[in-house]
Amino acid sequence: ERSDLRLLFLVLILGITSWTGLCRLLRAETLKISQVEFVTAAKAFGVSKLSIIRKHIIPNLMHIILIAVVLDFSGLVLAEAVLSYVGVGVDPTMHSWGNMINQARLEMAREPMVWWSLFSAFVFMFVLVLAANLFSDRIQTVLDPRNNA
C-alpha cells in the first residue's frame, strides 16, 4: 500500500508540473488559428463557435498535441527513471526503469561484471520511447487535416 501511495504522489507531482507548457503553446496556436481566413469566413457565415472549434481549431491543433504528449511522455519516463534511481521515486520493491537501472548498477560492481542487465534496461527504455514516437508519427499522418487521402 505504501508503494502505491508513492507511485500516486509521483504521478500527481509529475502531472501537475508538466501541463503548463502545453497549455501555453495551445493557447498561442489557438489564437493564431482563430485569425486564419477560413475561420474568419466561418464566423462571417454565422457558424457557431462550437462548430468552428470542432471542425477547424481542434484538427489544426492535433499535431501539436501529439508532439507535446510524446515529448512529455519521453521526459516523464526519464524523470521517473532518474527519481527512482536516486531513491525518491517509486518504492524500491516495485518494478520501474530507475529501480532496474539501480539494481543493474549494483550488478556491475560484481566480479565477474554483469553488464547486460544495465544494457538491456537502457535498450528497452529507448525502444519504449522510440515506439511512442513512431506511434505518434503514424497517428499524426492519419489525423493530419491537410491529408485528404
pLDDT in tens, the chain (149 residues): 676 787 788 888 888 888 888 899 999 999 999 999 999 999 999 999 999 999 999 988 988 888 888 888 888 888 888 888 888 877 888 888 888 888 888 888 888 888 888 899 899 999 998 998 898 888 878 776 666 55
- In order of 19, 74, 127, the CA distances from 118 in angstroms are 31, 19, 14
Contact 91, 8 (CB under 8 A): no
CA-based nearest residue to 16, from 72, 90, 61, 92:
72
Is 55 within 8 Å of 145 (Cβ atoms)? Answer: no
**DSSP reduced 3-state for 145:** coil
Q: Quick one: pLDDT at residue 148?
A: 56
Triad 68, 12, 30: Cα angle to 5°: 30
Q: What pLDDT is stored for residue 1 in this prediction?
A: 67
User: What's the confidence (pLDDT) of residue 94?
Assistant: 82
* Whole-Å CA distances, 53 to 34, 35, 58, 96, 123: 9, 13, 6, 40, 41
